[in-house]
């Protein structure tokens, strides 16, 4: 803890705050606000009730109005503090509101109806997390089904993509064959074609292969990515050929060289690509939207979209699900981020 | 038997010939060193023998069998690379066992072999470390261990000591030589350092621009170099060369451009009167002598205590080195006369560079 404080209050010269320190801290705080602000807002909002979400002006923390059960009424009644007028200082429960006047009762004396001007009352509120937003996801929607679909697509697509891309990259970086540069140029060239251009042909092919409305229809068309091939190739080029030669002298088959030498040595690059692939697949929206039309095949992203109706958007569920959708990606990033920075493997050579 | 024969072995990259027809005959158990300046094709030749590099023409035979089309893994060779090429993600133990695992050696046997090799190379306490945690010399031992543990017929070394510091290099040189004595395998060793070649080899092949200039025992190369290149390459410091012309009437006298005359033996060399000839003499054989035929102006003096080197130029500007045992009184700027003992000289045809040694 002391270390964190020391780190957070570090200055340029180690002593008093310099003007550059002020500048730096301002800049960093601004960055934090810009980057974390929306996320924190999202998380807090996901714990607000539907009524609280509709409220204007919005409030930072989630509040819920206090309610009371009164004999003779089935639903709990909201409690208000009366701030002015005849009943000032009393806590009353509201029955209904008509125009500018509210019909209220005293919970202690439910028989007498009191008429209160609505400008004279303040709702009694307390901090409260609307957990029902989350539990509702499991009760009212098939959340686990969507989660499974998303997870299955992400994991399978990432594994297949890493395998295909690393094999292609190995061939393109370590074997000399005619047309090697041409193949590489074609692979990289596909980067210049926007996804939207090939969307319709891709759809037609997927349809012909009978993969519409199947998770594989989402997984397979994205299995090979030029970015992945290029990234891994550039990394594998840096693995010394002598190590491969040594393995060949050690009677290792080419497959074994790939599996036991190249893959472990490319781990940092593969980790980076894996993180990217997981993020791409998990957040992918357009292609699943096209391929998957039945609700039971929906991914989380598609399910999120379906909360947004033409006339009515169920914000509380939408926000809660957004948080749950964000979580896995955040976790993946937290656990794999060190690989992004680790970079170069030591090369056994000098 | 693991003899190696190369017959007219060639290699070209497109139109560029890198190896231009090499014939070599390395007998079983010999320690053969390929030596030459960088770019002479010695490493390429080694890789061709190993099978890592295709050959364009000719034949390579190991133990009598032509192995031109046999893949590297099946030639029964082991190679130690210049950069060691250890597998960086594996521990030393895994580095050593990788090759054995690939030929499905039983686990117990692998463990046994690793233990004995590690003990022999004194790396037994490093077995669980990774290459990046080892020093240069230790990595070198592991690289050698990886070759030894597979018990190959032939060892190939590709400049294995060039990444080590001078002191360690001398140590490892001795160790590789003693390894050879202990195992008795055929070994081929590539280096650009002629001292390494002289100290370790049974046979040396001097290469230049893809051709073997001379192949023979170290002292044979030292005493009877076949041409100017070998004469200049073998021996440290370098042999001195004096270009001149044989006197028309007298085969026993060489006239230098400066007009100085050097007596040369009339027998043993095939010099003709009037021929342009280069005289070679090792720095150790030239001694200051008051009546010496060649005089030099001293440019610099190196006093090493036990011995001294005098560097100078002759009157026509040819650089000469003189080795003098003990300490010398010669000063920079002095002019000294040098004796050229006729029995210690080598004669080469200046034009072709070939030795004029009579057959």
**Count of alpha carbons within 13 angstroms of residue B109, beta-carbon side:** 10
User: Residue A113 — very low, low, confident or very high, per pLDDT cuts 50/70/90?
Assistant: confident
Is-contact B47 B219, C-beta < 8 A? no
* Integer Cα distance of B310 and B300 in angstroms: 6
Reply yes or no on whether the pLDDT at B124 is more than 60. yes
CB contact under 8 A, B87 and A243: yes
Domain ranges in chain B are: 4-224, 237-349
- CA angle in degrees (0–180, nearest 5) for B3-B36-B323: 120
C-alpha–C-alpha distance, residues B57 and B12, integer Å: 9
Say yes or no to pLDDT of B107 above 90.
yes
pLDDT of A339 reads 67
Q: Give me the pLDDT at residue B120, please.
A: 87
CATH class of A134-342: mainly alpha
Three-state DSSP state, A293: coil
Q: Does B304 touch chain A (CB under 8 A)?
A: no
Q: Cite the residue boundaries of each domain of chain A with CATH code 1.10.3720.10.
A: 134-342
Q: Do A243 and B132 touch (CB under 8 A)?
A: no
DSSP class of residue B269?
B
Q: What is the mean pLDDT of residues B260-264?
A: 86
Predicted model pTM: 0.79
Inform me whether the C-beta atom of residue B72 falls under 8 Å from chain A C-beta atoms. yes
Task: State the DSSP H helix or E strand holding residue B21, giving kind and residue range, or none if neither.
Answer: strand B16-26
Predicted pLDDT of residue A347? 34
Quote the pLDDT of residue A341: 60
> Domain B4-224 - what CATH class?
alpha beta
State the nearest Cα–Cα gap between B181 and chain A, in angstroms. Answer: 23
Of the pLDDT bands very low, low, confident and very high (cuts 50, 70, 90), residue A344 is very low
The beta-carbon neighbor of B99 closest among A242, A250, A267 is A250
**Which of 2.70.98.40, 2.40.10.120, 2.40.50.140, 3.40.50.300 is the CATH number of B237-349?**
2.40.50.140
Q: Are B186 and B2 in contact (CB under 8 A)?
A: yes
Summarize the confidence of residues A207-231 as an average pLDDT.
90
Beta-carbon separation of A250 and B146 below 8 A = yes
CATH code of the region A63-127: 2.30.30
Is the pLDDT assigned to residue A349 strictly greater than 50? no
Which pLDDT tens digit goes with each residue over B37-51?
988 989 999 999 999
Q: Map tokens 């002479």 to a residue.
A: B40
Question: Distances from the Cα of B204 to the Cαs of B49, B79, B317, in angstroms?
Answer: 16, 19, 33
Kindly report whether the peptide bond that precedes residue A57 is cis, defined as omega within 30 degrees of 0. Answer: yes
| Span(s) in chain A for CATH 2.30.30 | 63-127
Query: Residue A249 is nearest to which of B77, B82, B83, comparing CB atoms?
Result: B77
Give the model's pLDDT for residue A167: 95
Predicted local confidence at residue A236, as pLDDT: 92
pLDDT-derived band at A340 (thresholds 50, 70, 90) equals low
- ipTM of the assembly? 0.83
pLDDT tens string A239-298: 999 999 999 999 899 999 999 999 999 988 888 888 888 888 998 899 999 999 888 889
Compute the half-sphere exposure of residue B247: CA atoms within 13 Å on the CB side of its CA.
14
Residues B253, B261: Cα–Cα separation, whole Å: 6
Lowest mean pLDDT among A162-166, A335-339, B312-316: A335-339
Do the Cβ atoms of B146 and A246 come within 8 Å? yes
Mean pLDDT for the stretch of residues B161-166: 86
Span between the terminal Cα atoms of chain A, in Å: 41
What confidence score (pLDDT) does residue A305 get?
86
Say what the pLDDT of residue A350 is: 33
Residue A79 CB: number of other CB atoms within 10 A?
19
């Amino acid at each position: 803890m002391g270390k964190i404080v020391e780190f957070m209050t570090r200055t340029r010269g180690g002593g008093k705050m310099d003007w550059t320190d002020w500048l730096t801290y301002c800049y960093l705080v601004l960055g934090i606000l810009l980057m974390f602000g929306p996320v924190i807002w999202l998380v807090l909002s996901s714990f607000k009730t539907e009524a609280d979400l509709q409220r204007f002006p919005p409030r930072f923390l989630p509040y819920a109005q206090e309610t009371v059960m009164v004999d003779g009424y089935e639903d709990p009644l909201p409690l208000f503090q009366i701030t002015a007028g005849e009943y000032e200082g009393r806590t009353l429960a509201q029955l209904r509101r008509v125009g500018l006047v509210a019909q209220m009762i005293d919970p202690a004396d439910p028989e007498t109806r009191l008429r209160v001007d609505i400008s004279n009352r303040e709702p009694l509120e307390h901090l409260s997390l609307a957990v029902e937003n989350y539990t509702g996801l499991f009760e009212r929607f098939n959340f686990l089904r969507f989660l499974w679909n998303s997870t299955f697509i992400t994991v399978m697509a990432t594994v297949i993509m890493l395998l295909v891309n690393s094999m292609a990259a190995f061939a393109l970086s370590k074997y000399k064959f005619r047309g090697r540069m041409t193949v590489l140029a074609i692979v990289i060239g596909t980067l210049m074609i926007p996804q939207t251009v090939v969307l319709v042909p891709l759809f037609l092919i997927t349809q012909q292969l009978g993969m519409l409305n199947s998770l594989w229809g989402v997984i397979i068309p994205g299995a090979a990515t030029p970015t992945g091939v290029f990234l891994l190739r550039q990394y594998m080029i840096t693995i010394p050929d002598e190590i491969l030669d040594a393995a060949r002298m050690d009677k290792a088959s080419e497959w074994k060289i790939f599996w036991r030498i190249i893959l472990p040595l490319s781990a940092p690059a593969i980790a980076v690509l894996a993180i990217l692939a997981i993020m791409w697949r998990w957040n992918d929206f357009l292609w699943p939207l096209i391929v998957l039309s039945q609700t039971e095949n929906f991914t989380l992203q598609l399910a999120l979209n379906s909360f947004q109706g033409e006339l009515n958007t169920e914000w509380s569920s939408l926000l809660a699900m957004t948080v749950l959708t964000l979580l896995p990606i955040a976790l993946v990033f937290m656990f794999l981020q060190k690989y992004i920075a680790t970079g170069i493997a030591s090369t056994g050579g000098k | 038997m693991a003899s190696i024969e190369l017959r007219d072995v060639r290699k070209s990259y497109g139109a560029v010939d890198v190896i231009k027809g090499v014939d070599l005959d390395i007998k079983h158990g010999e320690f053969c060193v390929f030596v030459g300046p960088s770019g002479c094709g010695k490493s390429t030749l080694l890789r061709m023998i190993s099978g890592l590099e295709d050959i364009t023409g000719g034949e390579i035979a190991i133990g009598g069998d032509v192995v031109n089309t046999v893949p590297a893994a099946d030639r029964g060779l082991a190679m130690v690379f210049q950069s060691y090429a250890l597998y960086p993600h594996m521990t030393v133990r895994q580095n050593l066992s990788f090759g054995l695992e690939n030929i499905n050696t039983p686990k117990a046997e692998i463990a046994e072999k690793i233990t004995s090799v590690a003990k022999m190379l004194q790396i037994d306490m490093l077995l669980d470390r990774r290459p990046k945690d080892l020093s240069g010399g230790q990595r070198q031992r592991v690289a050698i261990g990886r070759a030894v543990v597979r018990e190959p017929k032939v060892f190939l070394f590709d400049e294995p000591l060039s990444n080590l510091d001078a002191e360690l290099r001398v140590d490892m040189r001795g160790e590789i030589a003693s390894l050879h004595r202990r195992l008795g395998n055929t070994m081929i060793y590539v280096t650009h350092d002629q001292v390494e070649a002289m100290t370790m080899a049974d046979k040396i092949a001097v290469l230049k621009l893809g051709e073997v200039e001379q192949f023979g025992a170290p002292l044979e190369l030292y005493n009877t170099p076949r041409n100017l290149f070998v004469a200049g390459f073998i021996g440290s410091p370098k042999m001195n060369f004096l270009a001149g012309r044989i006197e028309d009437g007298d085969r026993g006298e060489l006239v230098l451009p400066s007009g100085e005359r050097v007596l040369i033996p009339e027998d043993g060399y095939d010099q003709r009167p009037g021929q342009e000839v280069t005289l070679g003499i090792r720095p150790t054989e030239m001694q200051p002598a008051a009546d010496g035929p060649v005089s030099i102006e001293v440019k610099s003096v190196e006093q090493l205590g036990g011995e001294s080197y005098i560097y100078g130029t002759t009157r026509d500007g040819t650089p000469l080195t003189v080795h003098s045992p003990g300490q010398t009184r010669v000063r920079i700027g002095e002019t000294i006369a040098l004796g050229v003992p006729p029995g210690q000289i080598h004669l080469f045809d200046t034009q072709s560079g070939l030795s004029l040694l009579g057959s």
